């Protein structure tokens, strides 16, 4: 039986749009359905508007620091509405580009929710549509803790509709979103406290990075408290009262739940298509990103593998090439560079010291210094940490980590070296660019310690 489409993609975010565009470019008849906003989380309520707000927060700091360099400058305050308008117009522009990219590639777009009727048939806004192959790219959504008064708390999406800066903010959690939000809200002028249930922030990151990130945030005046969770939020005149598991209590203007995201699989009718879902709602996939139904694929955050936009686009692209471009290939989940846009930012690629040490003897190089800019500005909490994790036997650089100005920009280049399998000697024979912070990565001469089984 001929289907309406060769490929139907559910979800017009990073993964879905890339996959649809590339598949259509290979000549497939492709459709995409998006129920909320084109470009998905990243463009609309994630990476893009967040980074604009991080930039805004940093401008305030740079402006203040400029006085140390001789500028006659006074920062009188911040206009939230002006920032929001600039941010929203950029988001609208980018979201429009996503829509136009699809149209330009000959993809049929539906501004509608799509749900499964059976394994090849979808209900798309009330219309019955069939497809030979279906890709599920519905992403994830932020969740709240199940505590009394949770309805008074905010999730990350809500930052982008706030009409004014909340003056006193409690951030719950200590992952990517928690630390980025704490940093940008503090930078824009809020008084911020972070409460996290584990003793340390950024689970899974290198231990030195976790410590340096906490120190940097504390030194700037963000209060961090580990080993504590929220138990209740109550509305009171003039604000909210947050109750904590250690019997502490805070009166604040906003509580942000940054305590994790879940895949958006509820109500998709996956059972009618026979697609298996984990207890957490994620769709398990094989190496080709096929679900347990060989013609149904899942890409991006809905698979809950490595929830990063560039990973989602890479996987969507590779899958389209594989299925429709006669070019079977896989995007690698190894050595993916990533950054947390705190202030200063954190960036990392490859293995942590702890992961490398579990494999075998590891040479560890660590340096900490005050970047040149801040030797003049004297600003607190801006010390840079750089670290290389090197396999002792092969001398391959297995991991690179940084907390400091421009970390994300620097780590992208280091990521190429790590992906290519560069050794410490390759780093050593690379001539630095002087004076930069980045040159420290190629001038780390003295081993700090040896880790791992000898
Ligand atoms: P993360 O997994 O990074 O962090 C979740 C946080 O919530 C952790 O601190 C976790 O604590 C805490 N938490 C989870 N459950 C509970 C609970 N029941 N009670 C209290 N705390 C809890 O998720 P995010 O939501 O911050 O981000 C989701 C993903 O999106 C990230 O992992 C990342 O892949 C991606 N992302 C990437 C960004 C970037 O590239 N810059 C920016 C934002 C998001 P614990 O450590 O104890 O488990």
CA angle 28, 29, 34 (to 5 degrees): 115
Compute the distance between CA of residue 142 and CA of residue 153 in angstroms, rounded to an integer: 12
Q: Which atom of ligand 1 is nearest to the CA of 145?
A: 18
Quote the tokens at residue 82. 């002006």
- Ligand 1 in contact with 345 (CB < 6 A)? no
| Poorest-pLDDT segment among 81-85, 93-97, 173-177, 344-348 | 93-97
Our mutation pick for probing the ligand 1 site, out of 173, 209, 227, 242, counting the most ligand atoms within 8 A of Cβ, is 173
The angle, 0 to 180 degrees and rounded to 10, between the axes of the packed helices 47-65 and 176-187 is: 40
Our mutation pick for probing the ligand 1 site, out of 259, 301, 409, counting the most ligand atoms within 8 A of Cβ, is 259
Compute the distance between CA of residue 393 and CA of residue 44 in angstroms, rounded to an integer: 46
CATH code at 5-142+262-324: 3.50.50.60
Mean pLDDT over each residue of the chain, to the nearest integer:
97
Total-model pTM: 0.98
**Residue ranges per structural domain of the chain:** 5-142+262-324, 150-258, 338-448
Distance 168 CA to ligand 1 centre (A): 22
Quote the tokens at residue 215. 């120190």
pLDDT digits (tens, 9 = 90+) for 276-291: 999 999 999 999 999 9
C-alpha torsion angle, residues 316, 319, 321, 327 (rounded to 10) = 150
Q: What is the pLDDT of residue 333?
A: 97
Q: Indicate if 434 belongs to the active site.
A: yes
Quote the tokens at residue 205. 């990151």
pLDDT band at residue 453 under the 50/70/90 scheme: confident
Closest Cα to atom 22 of ligand 1: 259
pLDDT digits (tens, 9 = 90+) for 305-344: 999 999 999 999 999 999 999 999 999 999 999 999 999 9
Q: Which atom of ligand 1 is nearest to the CA of 338?
A: 40
User: Measuring CA to CA, how many Å separate 289 from each of 135, 279, 444?
Assistant: 9, 19, 40
Q: Mean per-residue pLDDT for 63-89?
A: 96
Distance 176 CA to ligand 1 centre (A): 6
Q: Mean per-residue pLDDT for 239-268?
A: 97
CATH code at 338-448: 3.30.390.30
Q: What is the DSSP string of 52-117?
A: HHHHHHHHHHHHHHGGGGT---------HHHHHHHHHHHHHHHHHHHHHHHHHTT-EEE-S-EEEE
Distance 368 CA to ligand 1 centre (A): 27
Closest Cα to atom 36 of ligand 1: 176
pLDDT digits (tens, 9 = 90+) for 383-410: 999 999 999 999 999 999 999 999 999 9
Q: Mean per-residue pLDDT for 198-218?
A: 98
Placement of tokens 């806004």 in the chain: 125
Percent with pLDDT over 70 in the chain: 100
pLDDT band at residue 81 under the 50/70/90 scheme: very high
Distance 177 CA to ligand 1 centre (A): 6
CATH 3.10.110.10 fits 150-258, yes or no: no
pLDDT digits (tens, 9 = 90+) for 151-168: 999 999 999 999 999 999
pLDDT digits (tens, 9 = 90+) for 99-145: 899 999 999 999 999 999 999 999 999 999 999 999 999 999 999 99
- Ligand 1 in contact with 231 (CB < 6 A)? no
- Ligand 1 in contact with 229 (CB < 6 A)? yes
- Has residue 1 got a pLDDT over 90? no
Bridge partners of residue 130, in order along the sequence: 121
**Same fold flag, 5-142+262-324 and 150-258:** yes
Closest Cα to atom 29 of ligand 1: 307
Closest Cα to atom 23 of ligand 1: 260
Compute the distance between CA of residue 359 and CA of residue 166 in angstroms, rounded to an integer: 46
Closest Cα to atom 9 of ligand 1: 174
């Amino acid at each position: 039986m001929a289907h309406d489409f060769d490929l139907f993609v559910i979800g017009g975010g990073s993964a879905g749009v890339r996959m649809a565009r590339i598949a259509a470019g290979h000549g497939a008849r492709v459709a995409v359905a998006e129920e909320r906003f084109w470009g998905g989380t990243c463009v609309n309520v994630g990476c893009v508007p967040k980074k604009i707000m991080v930039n805004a927060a940093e401008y305030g700091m740079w402006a203040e620091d400029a006085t140390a360099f001789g500028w006659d400058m006074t920062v009188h305050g911040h206009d939230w509405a002006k920032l929001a308008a600039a941010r929203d117009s950029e988001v609208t522009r980018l979201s429009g580009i996503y829509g136009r990219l699809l149209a330009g590639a000959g993809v049929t777009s539906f501004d509608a929710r799509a749900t499964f009727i059976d394994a090849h048939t979808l209900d798309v806004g009330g219309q019955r549509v069939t497809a030979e192959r279906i890709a599920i790219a519905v992403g994830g959504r932020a969740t709240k803790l199940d505590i009394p008064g949770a309805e008074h708390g905010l999730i990350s999406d809500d930052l982008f509709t706030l009409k004014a800066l909340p003056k006193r903010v409690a951030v719950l959690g200590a992952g990517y979103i928690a630390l980025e939000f704490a940093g940008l809200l503090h930078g824009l002028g809020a008084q911020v406290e972070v409460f996290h249930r584990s003793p340390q922030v950024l689970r899974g990151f290198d231990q030195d990075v976790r410590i340096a990130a906490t120190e940097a945030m504390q030194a700037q005046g963000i209060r961090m408290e580990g080993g504590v969770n929220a138990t209740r939020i109550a509305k009171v005149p003039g604000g909210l009262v947050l109750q904590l598991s250690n019997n502490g209590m805070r009166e604040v203007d906003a509580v942000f739940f940054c305590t994790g995201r879940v895949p958006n699989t509820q109500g998709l009718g996956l059972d009618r298509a026979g697609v298996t879902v984990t207890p957490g709602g994620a769709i398990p996939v094989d190496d080709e990103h096929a679900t347990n139904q060989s013609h149904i694929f899942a890409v991006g955050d809905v698979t809950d593998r490595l929830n990063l936009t560039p990973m989602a686009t890479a996987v969507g692209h590779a899958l389209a090439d594989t299925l429709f471009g006669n070019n079977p290939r896989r995007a690698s989940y190894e050595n993916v560079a990533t950054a947390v846009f705190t202030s200063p930012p954190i960036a990392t690629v490859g293995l942590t010291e702890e992961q490398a040490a579990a494999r075998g003897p590891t040479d560890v190089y660590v340096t900490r210094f005050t970047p040149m800019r801040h030797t003049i500005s004297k600003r607190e909490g801006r010390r840079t940490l750089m670290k290389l994790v090197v396999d002792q036997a092969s001398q391959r650089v297995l991991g690179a980590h940084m907390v400091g100005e421009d970390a994300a920009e620097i780590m992208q280049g280091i990521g190429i070296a790590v992906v290519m399998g560069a050794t410490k000697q390759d780093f050593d024979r690379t001539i630095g660019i002087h004076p930069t912070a980045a040159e420290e990565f190629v001038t780390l001469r003295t081993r700090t310690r040896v880790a791992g089984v000898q």
